[in-house]
Amino acid sequence: MTAVLSVHGLTIEATTGLGPVKLVHDVNLDLHEGEILGLIGESGSGKSTAVRSMIGLLERNVRVSSGEIALRGEVISSESVNHFEGVRGSEIGMIFQSAAMSLNPLMKVGKQLREVVRRHQKHASAKEIDQRLELVLRKMGFTDTDRVLGAFPHQLSGGMRQRIAIGLAIVTEPAVVIADECTSALDVTTQAEVVKLLRTLTSESRTAMLFVTHDLMLAKDICSQIAVMYAGEIVETGEANELIDNPRHPYTRALLQAIPTWGTDELQGIEGSPPPVAADWQGCRFAPRCPLARDECRQQNVGWTRLGDRSGARCVVVQEEEVRIPDSVLGHA
Ligand SMILES: Nc1ncnc2c1ncn2[C@@H]1O[C@H](COP(=O)(O)OP(=O)(O)OP(=O)(O)O)[C@@H](O)[C@H]1O
């Protein structure tokens, strides 16, 4: 199956007062129709930078320095290509952490939704637009659609505003939706409502979704695939349940051990802190915090070990385990 959105060898650099620094290194991801792919990692691991590059929203001092991002096989971003015209908002929609980043506080909801449709579908008639808005609001779980369309954002609750922000992202029926920590600012019950909505959206409309979160259990709940990011690199990918039940990378294991469990007083945090952004580096970024690290982890550049069709890890220890257990035994292709 061809991926709707594919990312190959994506490396992103920032120009800073201290010179160039790498924020994201050699990221590879494939996102398929109707799938929710979770991009998880601690704060500062590069999740937002990676996904912002996919919609052409990098800050002025940040650029793609190598690799490419393709939408249905056509390159939309690379070192030399920056082709987001007709793609951003139309083919790829974005939901931010806070609805305030999507909504204009001075404009009624109906007007904002109408403007988005008009911008991307210039030939749509007023009647077609009205029908579209009605449909989208119903999909977002609203029954009193006239009231919502006539309301200013501040007249709605936080959960309602986030549902409107999702509506804004999907009203043009994009092939891909990127949701960047879009449930983190919500209380648990509202979060559950929004998660349910996103799940329905991807299964009914076959929209492909990249779901960015630092919450591993939420990712397990909503995503079919997960990619774990650490200090600018993807360190493990896999089918969501498999990755959580049988994590291979020591960082994924440590993340899981750091999750509070009901009835347990003790939390096993991860010793140390992530490395600062740097111009370049050698060896595994997690080695200074890894209980299994050896000399070669710090000295050699760590390649990707393929573990299955869509799973793998960037780890010397995993690489050695795989050499000891041949593919034929594991049943991998
Ligand atoms: N414009 C910039 N210039 C220089 N460094 C930046 C810039 N934007 C982000 N960074 C740095 O890049 C790293 C990755 O940041 P990013 O926001 O992508 O991480 P994140 O995983 O999304 O974190 P969070 O969950 O806190 O948003 C951080 O160290 C951050 O300080």
**CA 21 to ligand 1 centroid distance, Å:** 11
Closest Cα partner for 95 from 103, 87, 86? Answer: 103
User: Would you state the pLDDT for residue 332?
Assistant: 44
Question: Any idea what the CATH number is for the domain that residue 130 is in?
Answer: 3.40.50.300
pLDDT of residue 257: 87
Distant-in-sequence, close-in-space partners of 97: CB < 8 Å, separation ≥ 6? 180, 181, 182, 184, 185
Structure token digits, residue 315: 């780890």
Measured N-to-C along each axis, helices 188-205 and 158-170 cross at an angle, to the nearest 10 degrees, of 20
- Sequence-distant (≥ 6) Cβ neighbours of residue 4 within 8 angstroms: 31, 32, 33, 71, 72, 175, 176, 208
pLDDT of residue 186: 84
pLDDT attached to residue 333: 38
Asked if residues 9 and 67 have their Cβ atoms less than 8 Å apart, the reply is yes
Q: Which residues' Cβ are closer than 6 Å to ligand 1?
A: 14, 16, 23, 41, 43-49, 59, 61-62, 214, 277
Tell me what pLDDT residue 10 has: 98
Q: What is the pLDDT of residues 211-260, one digit of tens each?
A: 999 999 899 999 999 999 999 999 999 999 999 999 999 999 999 988 87
Give CA separation, 62 vs 13, 53, 210, 229, in Å: 6, 9, 21, 19
What domain count does the chain have? 1
Helix or strand or coil: residue 5? strand
Question: If you ran DSSP here, which 8-state letter would residue 36 be given?
Answer: E
Model's pTM, two decimal places?
0.91
pLDDT along the chain (333 residues), means of 10: 92 94 96 96 94 95 97 95 89 91 94 93 90 93 95 94 93 94 86 88 90 92 96 97 95 88 67 89 94 92 92 93 60 42
- Write out the residue range of the structural domain in which residue 37 sits: 5-330
- 67-84 tens-digit pLDDT: 999 999 999 999 999 999
**What angle is formed at CA 271 by the lines to CA 267 and CA 275, rounded to 5 degrees?**
135
From 11, 21, 22, 49, the mutation candidate for ligand 1 (largest count of ligand atoms within 8 A of CB) is: 49
Q: Which residue, by CA, sits nearest to atom 28 of ligand 1? A: 44
CA-CA distances (angstroms) from residue 55 to 83, 131, 219, 264, 291? 10, 27, 22, 41, 37
